[in-house]
Amino acid sequence: GAVVSQHPSWVICKSGTSVKIECRSLDFQATTMFWYRQFPKQSLMLMATSNEGSKATYEQGVEKDKFLINHASLTLSTLTVTSAHPEDSSFYICSAQGTLETQYFGPGTRLLVL
């Protein structure tokens, strides 16, 4: 149980394009999902908290107009990186909150912006 999927697992795109990443909880419903970013040799940094049916809450320093989050259902949250630039290249990981506030992570999406 508590499986979270992410799609795509790899994205290579040109600078200036937008990239959409999907996060799904496969066998449970998640009112709350989270989006993290992880640079090489660093720990996970929370970008935003996504609540089903309401606006996402962004962490300080994260541009909400650049990283668009939609949580339209209890099993799906999407992150769209708009007008991506090379500095946005990173490992993006989502998680879905299950019981006892445990977060279950998706497999991650590696984004490379050329």
Partner 1 sequence: GQNIDQPTEMTATEGAIVQINCTYQTSGFNGLFWYQQHAGEAPTFLSYNVLDGLEEKGRFSSFLSRSKGYSYLLLKELQMKDSASYLCAVLAGKLIFGQGTELSVKP
Please report, as ranges, the residues that interact with partner 1 according to CB under 8 A: 2, 6, 34, 42-46, 49, 59, 91, 93, 100-108, 110
CB of residue 34 vs partner 1: minimum separation in angstroms? 7
* Single-letter amino acid, residue 65: D
C-alpha distances out from residue 101 to 34, 80, 107, Å? 12, 25, 19
CB of residue 108 vs partner 1: minimum separation in angstroms? 4
Query: 65 or 101, CB closer to partner 1?
Result: 101
Burial tier of 62 (Cβ tally within 10 Å: 0-12, 13-18, 19+): middle
> 14 phi and psi, to 5 degrees?
-85, 150
Query: 34 or 67, CB closer to partner 1?
Result: 34
CB of residue 22 vs partner 1: minimum separation in angstroms? 14
Query: Could you tell me whether strands 32-38 and 90-97 are parallel, antiparallel, or unpaired per DSSP bridges?
Result: antiparallel
Query: 46 or 74, CB closer to partner 1?
Result: 46
Query: 10 or 53, CB closer to partner 1?
Result: 10
